[in-house]
Amino acid sequence: MMRSSGRRPTVRVIVGGAATKRPDTLATEEPLEIRVGRRPLAVTMRTPGDELDLALGFLVTEGVIGAPDDVVTAILCGDDGFNVVEVTLAAHVPPPDASVERNFYTTSSCGVCGKASIDAIRTRSRFDLAADAVSVEPSVIIALPDRLRAAQRTFDRTGGLHAAGLFTSAGELVVVREDVGRHNAVDKVVGWALQAGLLPLTGHLLMVSGRASFELTQKAWMAGIPLLAAVSAPSTLAVDLAVEAGMTLAGFVRGDTFNLYAHPHRVHLP
C-alpha cells in the first residue's frame, strides 16, 4: 500500500532541557518513472499518490498531450506495482520530441533541472489566456491560502509538503493535490483536470503554497489557467512569462494583502 508519509526515529533537542527520543512522521519521497510507448521519458521524485494524475499532468505541461482522447491507456506498472506509469498515446498524437526527455531525473525541488537544453524549457501553450475574461474579487484571492491549507491533510501530519489548489472564480475549491515537489503538485492538479475533461481551465484560479516560479507559471499556461496566486514571491522570469501569456499573477498572498505582477485587470481594484 502506498503511503504519503512514514515514521522515522528522531532525537528532539530542547536547549536547556533534556533530549528525548521519539518517532517523527515525515513526507514520503520516492521515484516515479514515466514511460510513453514503453520508452522511459522522465523520472521524478514525488510523494506517492495520484500517480496517473502526475504522469498525465506532466505530459500536458510538457506539450505532449492536451485532451483526454490523446491518451489510449495510462496504467501503473513496474516491479513494485506503483512506481512506473506507462502511457500509450493515441495514433494521432506525435511521440514526445527528444527535447522533452530528461537527461537525468527531476528532483522534488526543481522540475526543469534535467531539461536537455535551455531552449526546451519554454513550451508554448495551445490555449489563449488573453481571451479569458474571468473577473475576481480581492476578497476571493486573500481567502485562498487558508482554504488551501485547510485541505492539506498530509501536511498536517508531516509539515513537509507543497500544495496546489484549483479554485473557481468565486473561491470554491475544485481539487487540491500535495507533493514534496511543487511542480508535481501542479502536474497532479492538471492531470486530474485532463481526466475530468476540464481543459482548458478557463475561469479558474490556481493557488500554490510556495513561490511562483517560471516553471509553475508555464504549467499554469499549458493548462489554460488565467490566474496564478502564490503565498510567496514570483521570480523575474515568472513575471515575464505571465505578461507574455496574458496571465494574472499574484504573489505574497498573505493576510489581507497581495501584490499583482501581471495583468491586474482581472482583479476588481478600488
Residue from 160, 168, 178 nearest 143 by CA: 168
At 35 the pLDDT is 94
* Residue-wise pLDDT tens digits, 126-157: 999 999 999 999 999 999 999 999 988 765 56
- For 83, other C-beta atoms within 10 Å of its C-beta total 18
Q: How far apart are CA 183 and CA 185, in angstroms?
A: 5
Helix, coil or strand: residue 45? strand
> Sign (positive/negative) of CA torsion 39, 42, 46, 51?
negative
At 25 the pLDDT is 81
Active-site residue, 110 included: yes
> pTM for the complete prediction?
0.89
Helix, coil or strand: residue 183? helix
Q: Which of 26, 45, 76, 110 is catalytic?
A: 110
